[in-house]
Amino acid sequence: MTPDLNLSHTPAHRRQGSSIGQPMTRRDGILKVTGAATYAADNHPPDMLYAVLAVAAIARGRVASLDVAAALAHRGVVEVMTPANRPALALDPDAKFHPFMFRLDLLQNDGVRYPNQPIAVVIAETLEAATEGAALLAPRYETETARVGFEDAETFVPGGVGVGNPASQQKGDVKAGLAAAATRVEARYETPPQYHNAMEPHAIVASWDGDSLTVDTPSQGLAIAQGRIAGLFGLSPDKVHVRSPFLGGGFGSKGLVSGPQVLGILAARLVGRPVKLVLRREQMYGPVGHRAPTRQTLRLGIDSEGRLTALDHHALTASSTFDDFFEPAADASHTLYASPAIATAHEAVRLDTGTPLFMRAPGEATGSIALESAVDEAAWACGRDPLDFRLANYAEVEPMTGKPFSSKALRECYAEAAARFGWSGRPLAPRAMRDTAGLLTGWGMGTATFPALMFQAEARAVLKSDGRGLMETSAADMGQGAWTALAQIAADGLGLDIGQLEFRAGSSDLPDAGIAGGSGHTATAGMAIHNAGAAVIARLADIATADAASPLYGAGNEGVVARSGRLYRRGDESRSESYTEILGRAGLSEIEARGTSAADQDTREAYAMHAHGAVFAEVKVDPDLGQVRVTRLVGAFAAGRVINPRLVRSQYLGGMIWGASFALHEEALADHRTGRIQNANLAEYHVPVNADVPSVEALLVHEDDPYVNALGIKGVGEIGITGTAGAVANAVWHATGVRPRRFPVRIEDLLAGGGLG
Amino acid sequence: MSLSISLTINGEQRDVELDDPRVTLLDLLRERLDLTGTKKGCDRGQCGACTVLVDGRRVNSCLALAASQDGAEILTIEGLAQGETLHPVQAAFIAHDGFQCGFCTPGQIMSAVGLIGEGQAGDDPERIREAMSGNLCRCAAYGGIVEAVLEAQRTIAAGNGADTRRDAA
Amino acid sequence: MNRFDYVRPTSLAEAVAAAAMPGAAYLAGGTNLLDLMKGGVARPERLVDITRLPELNRVERLDDGSLRVGALVRNADLAHDQAFAATYPAVAEALLSGASAQLRNAATVGGNIMQRTRCSYFYDTASACNRRELGSGCDALAGENRHHAVLGWSPACIATHPSDFCVPLVALDAVVEIEGSKGRRHVTLEEFHRLPGEAPQRETVLEPGELVVAVRLPAEASAFASHARYLKLRERTSYAFAVVSAAAALVVEGGRIRQARLALGGVAAKPWRARAAEAALLGAEPGEAAYAGAAALALAEAKPSGDNGFKIELARRVAVRALSLAEAGTPARLPALPASVFASTTGARHDA
Ligand SMILES: Cc1cc2nc3c(=O)[nH]c(=O)nc-3n(C[C@H](O)[C@H](O)[C@H](O)COP(=O)(O)OP(=O)(O)OC[C@H]3O[C@@H](n4cnc5c(N)ncnc54)[C@H](O)[C@@H]3O)c2cc1C
Ligand code: SF4
Ligand code: FES
Ligand code: FES
């Protein structure tokens, strides 16, 4: 039974807007296409110096010596920062007060705990001199044996995984479920370490003015960054100003301040001048997080009707030797398929790598590719069509908890995407389709899911007597479109046309918009904006309805409707007045109010909240040579209210391409002796290029969700990877008959598996 | 040693004294000439973010030594729009949402302008995809990019057509 | 990047003189040299910028019917030169399958054949590498070596040569024209690159300071124009180096193969001319059986240098396919995806 919750707050005052739901083009579009959008590294305060990191070439040991003299002797080099002269910090970089306070490498000692760990910073008048200075340091090391792969270290059960989930969970009796099954599938899948590789390398321009600090640096969470920096330097947060109007991609790696960013601040402190520090691409493979590798084992029991009797998902993953982030891969099995018995468990090893971090759909992406592959194997083992099989195991309530879903239009997603893709003609057996050019053709599918998260945020709304509005919150736009989507919410929240709105974001001196992560930013910051708008309109309504000279006088009990810069009496629209008139008569140049947002815990206790989707993939594989291309992707997603279909579609498309990349391309290759990543660049760490993805379509499926938040918004940023990665893997199987068991799919595996002619 | 070179950048002649021969065209633009629209994604020819036109040809400015460009005509993203009027490629990138974070975008746009100038791809999306494959987009706005190139090409062709008609009249 | 002297000679003689000093390097497009300098792999003391030598910038037909391509001709210009592409289509296809449009606009003919290996240990200055520093060892031998050589390698070095361009060139008997302090000499491309043996640091037969001035394609090579292809297997549809590749060219008359050329890329420290395979094809009936036999001969000496045994079978298959494609005939227009196994699929239009 659905619990009875008081959700439909009937507000006294309504706002009607026309911005939400519009497919507006990006409001920052002109800045971005003209090169005028300023990313962190585009800043150049007067008197600025350049800082370049020197990073460790070993995975474990200590730096025995650095040739500081050689670096200093290089023309243009001003200073070399090492553990010997690094300015003091107020806080130990290894201190950890809560799980999301990650340990940083800030030259606190000469130890090396992963390859590419910063070991010194060279500061110079020019970028060229700083870069060469860093090379001239020619470090010598005392090296200890690196622990690089799962076999190199002992496994243990972590205290928790992901964002504080228990390492293992279960419901029902998996053993009994497997014993009773008519068909059993047991399969193991491996996923490699992956790196976020946002196109914009982490960068910082830091300027000290006495004890005040201004930094331009990409941040997915400005208040958190501000707090972290303030803590490290022993400053009060208001002394730290973080500006991040544009991020050149984040994907999780700019969620929290990284070590190199703080080193830029330290360098500026050391030399007493502004400093710019930009990571070199290869330096992004270590100190700024990655997606940990996994080895996952799934066991599925299926009864004679094709229904799951048990689902067991075990994941082995890795964290660093000195900090904790455990990829919650197995938790992907909590939400998707109905089963009387489900068990998920995690184990981990500690390796000499940088600490892994959340990377776009952490846990969901890794877990989903394994789960969707296993489900595909199960469908085949039962002789069922993969879509029928999934429908037969459709979860009407959240399988792990039994909670009802706040909304779930997954059936519609399956139907719309399948129809658009043309799935119904698919032969069950693999290797059954060829195209006219003779290429093996395979079709696969996967289910997409991602939780609808919400964090805490605040916004400030102002209405001005000239009829314009202002909305402020420190939101971060890393490409998802905050500048546009949040402005749309703000315009409607203020009852203004969007042209009358000034929207300020991307700066830590604005109210805290929370973190742009977990696909929860639009919901979180959007709700704060929505509430701030409601509060300021309420104030305006109070003024008008109490003013005998206003046509709205006395409308207080009925309430008013705010629309296009006017308040209307509810129920009698002939009585209205513009914001300008109301404020003008009251002699006010502006009024303001704040709004906050947070998840409603009672509702979250009562309902399972997830976005869902279905993805269908076509791959073509050369029958002899094994090269694979994803020729078609069709996804349909239901994620509650769509603020801007153009931007939402782009998020899905981007996510889906990440999914294809997960299945076919991405992998960091560490030398098993040294731990050094041998493809720490963009030529050999493959991310898809334009020619890899000839046809990707995302359908937006309508979904009303009265429970997630008053705006009905779920999240769209990460879900696209889930489902897609598995769909591509399953399509490879369908084309070749070879079940991919380690990712990315490699030609030699198809060859060895007998998938090629 | 100081090297003096002379470049025409976005139509403006610039005489540049280089105190260091190591400066790449990209770092010259970004760090010394305050033209930060051109982006550095890899500094090694692997991403295309730094694409500019040198004498009308698209190249990776991170692998071009500034000194070696002496006498060249450089077009960067800052020089593309005519005042308030966007170049058709710029306008089409906005219309087709050919970007998200926007970091690869100046490179994508300059690459697209170069591609249209080369005249090799025609209106075949597959050729455009191939010809734009030297520009990585981690946000993966590839579909919109291809649509934008196709549309911009049509706009430019139509514009030329109109000019021709005017000439004929 | 270390500091260096930058000189920009205006004549060939000046260039050769300027490069005579030890530690000097020629700068052409810079797409390989600057990359190596940024990685600290190359640290030249002097850069001799040859981009302003007009005599290196020409494509000319010589009296003997051969085509002489100046060392500074840009990869893209050569590939898009209609006469060139019509005569040597496999070379144009190989060029267009390499790197990216931007890089091909900058990269030169000379720079392309002179480009260094992409072995990751060669690039990683913290690793032992005999090619970078003779005697230091070879960390690739027991390292990540899926992409390393299966032919012609030695325990001193198992690297491959990454050029696509060179593969059809070596198949077509291209000749390298070299200018040095002692005058001009000509070397076939087949002899130009050296196998590692005991001296992997010597990658080509160039003496220090010698300059590549041109690459010549002999008149006879044009006989293959209607049946010549390049095929490049990759791990990404574009902008990726070859896993293995092959150039094949045939002359078929009266149902028999009268002339055959086959070369492999990505398998050795040099573009690999498969002469035994070519010999076996002569007089044979075109078809899969003949190609399979030839491919087997081409790889007869192959052995894994590490975790790369699959490349041997793959190279055989690529050779067979390239020969079949050559037999089918050069397409009227280069495919949208040059040298790709997906060349013939158009791919659906992105939904607008
Ligand atoms: C990201 C990336 C991807 C790539 N992908 C591919 C690919 O898929 N396939 C492929 O084939 N190549 C690829 N390349 C390599 C590219 O083709 C070469 O970098 C290019 O051809 C080198 O030409 P250049 O003129 O820029 O040479 P430069 O960098 O100027 O020079 C390269 C070397 O040759 C020497 N040199 C140059 N000219 C002469 C001369 N005339 N005589 C004597 N020595 C000379 C230089 O001293 C230097 O050592 C790629 C490169 C990059 C950066
Ligand atoms: S294979 Fe050759 S280039 Fe690579 S590390 Fe060994 S010696 Fe060096
Ligand atoms: S910055 Fe030049 S190609 Fe990446
Ligand atoms: S728009 Fe973000 S990388 Fe292309």
Q: Are C350 and B147 inside 8 Å of each other by CB?
A: yes
Same domain, A430 and A549: no
8 A C-beta contact, residue A347 and residue A160: no
pLDDT band at B165 (very low <50, low <70, confident <90, very high): very low
- Is A701 within the bounds of a domain? yes
CATH code of the domain covering residue A613: 3.30.365.10
Mutation choice for ligand 2 from C117, C119, C125, C146, CB with most ligand atoms inside 8 A: C119
- Is A285 within the bounds of a domain? no
pLDDT band at A3 (very low <50, low <70, confident <90, very high): very low
pLDDT surpassing 60 at residue A429: yes
Same domain, B97 and B33: no
* Residue in C102, C241, C334 to test binding to B, most B beta-carbons within 10 Å: C102
pTM over the 0.90 mark: yes
CATH code of the domain covering residue B126: 1.10.150.120
- Is B165 within the bounds of a domain? no
* CB proximity list for A579: less than 8 A, separation 6 or greater: A463, A465, A467, A540, A565, A566, A567
pLDDT surpassing 90 at residue C42: yes
Q: Are B101 and A247 inside 8 Å of each other by CB?
A: yes
Same domain, A30 and A45: no
Residues in B touching C336 (Cβ below 8 Å) = 124, 126-127, 130
| Share above pLDDT 90 across residues of chain C, in percent, rounded to a whole number | 96
pLDDT surpassing 60 at residue B58: yes
Ligand nearest, relative to CA of residue C156: 2
| Share above pLDDT 70 across residues of chain C, in percent, rounded to a whole number | 98
pLDDT surpassing 90 at residue C134: yes
Mean pLDDT value of segment A309-314: 98
Angle separating helix axes A721-736 and A364-381, nearest 10 degrees = 40
| CB-side neighbour CA atoms (13 Å) of A417 | 36
Whether chain B has a CB inside 8 Å of the CB on A694: the answer is: yes
Interior/surface letters A328-338, b for 16+ CB within 10 angstroms, e for the rest = bbbbbbbbbbb
B129 vs chain A: nearest CA distance in angstroms? 5
| Share above pLDDT 90 across residues of chain A, in percent, rounded to a whole number | 96
Count of domains observed in chain B: 2
Same domain, B99 and B130: yes
* Domain end point (choices A596, A617, A637): A596
User: What are the pLDDT digits (tens) for A132-173?
Assistant: 999 999 999 999 999 999 999 999 999 999 989 999 999 999
8 A C-beta contact, residue A542 and residue A477: no
CATH code of the domain covering residue B70: 3.10.20.30
Residues with CB under 6 A from ligand 2: C 117, 119, 121-122, 129-131, 138-140, 157-159, 200
Give long-range contacts, CB 8 A cutoff, 24+ apart: C256-261.
C256/C283, C256/C284, C256/C285, C256/C286, C257/C281, C257/C282, C257/C283, C257/C284, C257/C285, C257/C286, C257/C290, C258/C282, C258/C283, C259/C223, C259/C224, C260/C294, C260/C323, C261/C171, C261/C172, C261/C224, C261/C228
* Domain end point (choices A596, A613, A636): A596
pLDDT band at A13 (very low <50, low <70, confident <90, very high): confident
- Is A610 within the bounds of a domain? yes
Per the rule left: phi > 0, alpha: psi between -120 and 50, beta: everything else, C174 is beta
Same domain, A266 and A316: no
Burial of A564 (0-12, 13-18, 19+ CB in 10 A): middle
Same domain, B18 and B42: yes
Same domain, B155 and B98: yes
User: What are the pLDDT digits (tens) for C208-239?
Assistant: 999 999 999 999 999 999 999 999 999 999 99
| Share above pLDDT 70 across residues of chain A, in percent, rounded to a whole number | 99
Mean pLDDT value of segment C118-139: 98
- Closest residue in B to C2 (Cα) is B22
Mean pLDDT value of segment A282-305: 98
Mean pLDDT value across chain A:
96
Residues in A touching C318 (Cβ below 8 Å) = 625
What confidence score (pLDDT) does residue B153 get? 96
Angle separating helix axes B105-118 and B88-95, nearest 10 degrees = 120
A745 vs chain C: nearest CA distance in angstroms? 10
Closest CA to A324 of A185, A178, A164, A464: A164
Which chains reach chain A with 3 or more Cβ–Cβ distances below 8 angstroms?
A: B, C
Which chains reach chain C with 3 or more Cβ–Cβ distances below 8 angstroms?
A: A, B
User: What are the pLDDT digits (tens) for B5-25?
Assistant: 999 999 999 999 999 999 999
Mean pLDDT value across chain B:
94
Among the partner-chain residues A32, A479, A690, the one whose CB lies closest to the CB of B133 is: A690
- Is A77 within the bounds of a domain? yes
pLDDT surpassing 70 at residue C350: no
By residue range, what is the domain housing residue A473?
11-37+456-596
Same domain, A261 and A114: yes
Same domain, A129 and A15: no
- Is A172 within the bounds of a domain? no
Mean pLDDT value of segment A115-132: 98
Closest CA to B125 of B95, B154, B161: B154
What confidence score (pLDDT) does residue A10 get? 53
The residue nearest atom 3 of ligand 3, judged by CA position, is B45
Mean pLDDT value of segment C274-298: 98
User: What are the pLDDT digits (tens) for A518-529?
Assistant: 999 999 999 999
Mean pLDDT value of segment A428-457: 97
pLDDT surpassing 80 at residue C352: no
- Closest residue in A to B136 (Cα) is A689
What does the alpha-carbon distance between residue C119 and residue C303 come to, in Å, rounded to a whole number?
18
Q: How many CB atoms lie within 10 A of CB A89?
A: 20
C101 vs chain B: nearest CA distance in angstroms? 6
What confidence score (pLDDT) does residue A291 get? 98
User: What's CA A63's distance to the chain center, in Å?
Assistant: 35
What confidence score (pLDDT) does residue B160 get? 61
Fold of C226-328: Enolase-like; domain 1 (3.30.390)
pLDDT band at C349 (very low <50, low <70, confident <90, very high): very low
Mean pLDDT value of segment A347-372: 98
User: What are the pLDDT digits (tens) for A387-413?
Assistant: 999 999 999 999 999 999 999 999 999
What confidence score (pLDDT) does residue B1 get? 60
Q: Are B143 and A479 inside 8 Å of each other by CB?
A: no
What confidence score (pLDDT) does residue A9 get? 46
Count of domains observed in chain A: 3
- Tokens standing for A420? 């658009």
* Domain end point (choices A278, A303, A338): A278
pLDDT band at C54 (very low <50, low <70, confident <90, very high): confident
User: What are the pLDDT digits (tens) for B124-138?
Assistant: 999 999 999 999 999
Same domain, A125 and A229: yes
Mean pLDDT value of segment A548-572: 91
Same domain, A97 and A219: yes
By residue range, what is the domain housing residue B11?
3-79
pLDDT surpassing 80 at residue C266: yes
- Is A150 within the bounds of a domain? no
Q: How many CB atoms lie within 10 A of CB A305?
A: 9
A671 vs chain C: nearest CA distance in angstroms? 6
pLDDT band at A507 (very low <50, low <70, confident <90, very high): very high
Q: Are strands C211-217 and C175-180 parallel, antiparallel or unpaired?
A: antiparallel
Among the partner-chain residues C314, C318, C349, the one whose CB lies closest to the CB of A751 is: C314
What confidence score (pLDDT) does residue A307 get? 98
Mutation choice for ligand 1 from C32, C112, C118, C231, CB with most ligand atoms inside 8 A: C32
Q: Are B133 and A691 inside 8 Å of each other by CB?
A: yes
Q: How many CB atoms lie within 10 A of CB A384?
A: 17
Per the rule left: phi > 0, alpha: psi between -120 and 50, beta: everything else, C300 is alpha
Same domain, A571 and A447: no
The residue type of B150 is L
Among the partner-chain residues A35, A653, A654, the one whose CB lies closest to the CB of B78 is: A35
- Is A739 within the bounds of a domain? yes
